Structure 1
């Protein structure tokens, strides 16, 4: 059972600028298969002085699943994101914050790429073709981040980046 769990953990990729959707799907599958998704499916059970043994066991199972989910998520996000996420009590809170931080990182990357495209100027080093390919590469990265630019606008910007 340990080797199956270990191999499932390894199927969850490290979260990067362009794989949040796949990361989340792989995380959900891994947690479901090893029955840790309890922390996402059910709220934290409330225990009182009159709680039964069964209710106490349910809480213990939920807390174990919650801790393991958090550890798996921590293992699959980059170090710079871990600093931004901080510590959370529940896996659902942790996942919500990861998504928010990812969206902020993604917005910053979109802004940086847009800025690079707008400020691109052909400086005479290399060929015009290479210059066009660099701009094209930035546009592709924006498309990967689900930001599309109008083709006519791109042609105009690209031509404007050339010297008179």
Structure 2
């Protein structure tokens, strides 16, 4: 895929705004698939390389690291600013699911703010877990 096609696809991703998760997720998956980087969402990070690591292991680690970096950048760039500020930076694209799970399990309405805001927060966490 050439740079022009990648740019066109990237600009075609509607930023995640809380109500368009399914469409956004599909677009991100398609883009990562075009780039052949979607595997970082499903595979664990390979073990760190050592001096004794084979060339094949070193290449696998380099491929995973590059794909992970690009996946994180693509995901963060395609999330609306209001939501992006609520999501901490992670070292792996897969780590996001752990963040959402812990946030979801520890969230309860404390009486501050509106119930609507609390429900919106829960919906964002549930959508993140669906990833």
Fold in common (TM above 0.5) = yes
Paired position in structure 1 for 2:30: 29
Once residues 37 and 97 of structure 2 are traced to their aligned partners in structure 1, the CA distance between those partners, rounded to angstroms, is 14
Using the TM superposition, name which of 88-97 and 72-81 deviates more. 88-97
TM-score normalised according to structure 1 size: 0.56
Structure (1 or 2) with the greater helix fraction: 1
5+ long unaligned stretches in structure 2: 108-113, 118-131
Indicate the residue corresponding to 1:73 in structure 2: 75
Note the alpha carbon deviations across 1:73-127, whole angstroms, 9 max, x for none: 11111222222111101011136547988xx8xxxxx9429xxxxxxxxxxxxxx
Alignment CA distance shift 1:5-1:85 (3 Å): same
The RMSD of aligned alpha carbons is 2.5
Q: 1:56 aligns with which of 45, 58, 65?
A: 58
Q: Which has the larger radius of gyration?
A: 1
Q: Among residues 93, 97, 116, which one is paired with 1:112 in the alignment?
A: 116
Contact in 1 for aligned 2:17/2:83 (Cα 8 Å):
no
The alignment covers a number of residue pairs equal to: 106
* 1: CA distance, partners of 2:25 / 2:41: 13
Q: Which consecutive unaligned segments of at least 5 residues does structure 1 have?
A: 105-109, 114-164
- Which structure's relative contact order is higher, taking Cα pairs within 8 Å and 6+ residues apart? 2
